[in-house]
Amino acid sequence: MPTRRTVIATAGTAALVAGLPGAGWAEGAAPIATTKHGRVRGAVDQGIKVFKGVRYGADTSTRRFQPAVAPEAWTEVRDALEYGAASPQKSEEPNQSEDCLFLNVWTPELRDGGKRPVMVYVHGGAHANGSGSSPLYDGVALCKRGDVVVVTLNHRLNVFGYNGLGQLLSPHGGGAYGASGSVGNLDLLLALRWVRDNIAEFGGDPGNVMVFGQSGGGAKLVTLMAMPSAAGLYHKVITMSGQHVTAMGPQHAALRMRVFLDRLGLTPERAGELAAVPTAKLVEALSMDDPIEKGGITFWSVMDHDTLPRHPFVPDAPAESAHIPMIIGNTHDEARAFTAGDARNFSLTWDTVAAKLAPEFVVDLNAQYVVDWYRRQFPQMSPVDVFFAAATCGRSRPGHLIQAQERARLGDKTWMYQLDFGSPVDPKLGAYHSFDIALAFDNCHQPTSKTGTGPEARAVAAKMSETFIAFARTGNPNSAAIPEWKPYDLQTRPTMVFDVETRSVDDPRAEERKLFQVAPFLKQGT
C-alpha cells in the first residue's frame, strides 16, 4: 500500500512562525497532561489539544522479540510535540528505531470529565511497514466534527513484531521468546492499557473505546478479536480493507524463521544470537524472498496455540468477541492500488488479460475461465475493465465477505460498507485500497490525500466521518448523515455504499461474490 511518511511538527512550546504549516499551534498556552508515567506538554491546533510522541512502552531494543513493558516514570515535564520513532522497516519511513512505542492524542479538552468516545487508529502497511504519523491520520478534523478523542500509535513490525522464533526455541510454549509471533499485537494491547489508564485525563471515556484500522491495521484488529488477552480493552471495531481470516501457521512461521536465520549466517541452534544482531542487518535481511510464496519474506501474526490460540475467522468468527459491534469495510477498486501503476494493464486485450490476471488471484481459479465468465456476464466490459474488477474480487474482497458472513451467524452486531466514490485527482485509481482513510478522518485537505477538496469529496467525507463517529459513540453506525443501515445478514446482505449518492444496497456485486466463493480463501502468508 502507499508508503506512510511522517510529518514532523516544528519543536517549541509556545508560538510557531506564522504562515508555516501547523501555525495554528500557536493558540493559547501549551497544554500539560498528567499520565501515570509522568507529565507531557502538547500544543494546540485549531483549538484541539495535540500530544505527539507520548511514550506508552519502554525501549524494545533490550527486549527484542519479547513482550514489551511499560516505561519507567519520569519527573520532568516532557515535550510531546513531535511524532515518535517508527518501528524499523524496509521502507522510506523516516526516524526508525527499536525504541518505537509511542502514541499520539488529539482532544478537545483535558480532564473535564467529558467522557468522550475514544477512537484508536492502527495504521496499515501490512504487518511490515508504516507508522501512526501520516498526515492522513491527523485527528483534528474528527475532534472538531464529533467531540471525540483520537489516538494513533506506533508498534513493532515485520520480524521485530511477528516471527517464528518461539516456534524454534520454545516448541512446547513459554520461554523468553514464546510469544515472538505476537509481540507486535501485544504492543497494541499495551497501548490500549495506556488508553484505559490515562485517557480520562485527556477527556476520553476508558469504557468507550473504538479501535479502527485500514489494511494491515484492520488485520491486526481482527487478530485481537481472537486473542483472549485483548478482552475488555476495546468496545467497538472498524476494519477498513483488513481482510485477514487466517494468521500464519506455526510450522510456516518456523520455516520462515529458519531461512531468515540462514540469511544472517545463523543456525537454529544459534537463534538466541539474534538479540545482538544490529538493527540495520535485520532490516536488510527482510529483502530476501519468501520460502513458501511469491514476493518478499512474510512476517505477521502467528497462530501459536497460546497468545493467539486460533485463526481469527477460521473455522468461524470468534465467539468471545461476538458481543463487540463491528463494521467491515472495503473499496470498490481495491486492487488498483497494486496494479494501476503498470501502464500495460491499461492496454490489455482479450488475448492477454488472463495471463496478467492470474498472478493477482489469492483464490485458485482458472484465470481464463474467469475472463470468459466476465465476458458473458458483463458484455459491456472491456478487457481492462475485467482485469481490474476481477483482480479486486479475486484478491481483495473474499476475506471481507467471509468475516461478514461468519459474524452474521453469531448475531446482528455487524455492518458492512463498500466505498464506490473514486479519486477525482487520479481517476485511473478509482476507489483504490486505502482511499477511504482520508474520507473517514475527514482529511481531504491533508498531504497525500487523493480525494481532492471539491464538494463531492467533502460530502462523502462528511458521511463517512459522521458514521464512524456515531459508531464510536453508540456502537450503531446509523445517524442523520446516511440512509438506514441494517446489520449484515445472510439473506439480504445489506451493504452501505458510500458515494456521491450514498445508499444501502443488498448484496452488491452478488454474481462476482458467487463466482469467487467457489474456491477457498486463505490469507497469503498463512
Residues assigned a catalytic role = 215, 334, 433
Residue 111: CB atoms within 10 A of its CB come to 12
Helices and strands per DSSP (H, E), number in the chain? 15, 14
Calculate the alpha carbon distances from 260 to 267, 276, 463 in Å.
10, 15, 45
Instruction: Give the integer Cα–Cα distance in Å for 225 and 301.
Output: 13
| Inter-residue contact 419 to 509 (CB < 8 Å) | no
SS3 content of the chain, % helix, strand, coil (to 5): 35, 15, 50
| Inter-residue contact 237 to 211 (CB < 8 Å) | yes
Instruction: Give the integer Cα–Cα distance in Å for 331 and 494.
Output: 15
Strand order in the sheet with 78-79: 32-34, 39-41, 78-79
Strands (E) located in 123-252: 149-153, 204-214, 236-240
Q: Are strands 32-34 and 39-41 parallel, antiparallel or unpaired?
A: antiparallel
For residue 295 the three cell numbers come to: 514476493
Query: HSE on the CB side for 139, CA within 13 Å?
Result: 29
Instruction: Give the integer Cα–Cα distance in Å for 121 and 84.
Output: 16
User: Hey, CA dihedral for 228, 230, 231, 235, is it positive or negative?
Assistant: negative
What secondary structure letter does DSSP report for 61? Answer: G
In the chain, the amino acid numbered 249 is G
Residue 83: CB atoms within 10 A of its CB come to 23
Instruction: Give the integer Cα–Cα distance in Å for 226 and 312.
Output: 5
Instruction: Give the integer Cα–Cα distance in Å for 445 and 242.
Output: 25
For residue 274 the three cell numbers come to: 539474534
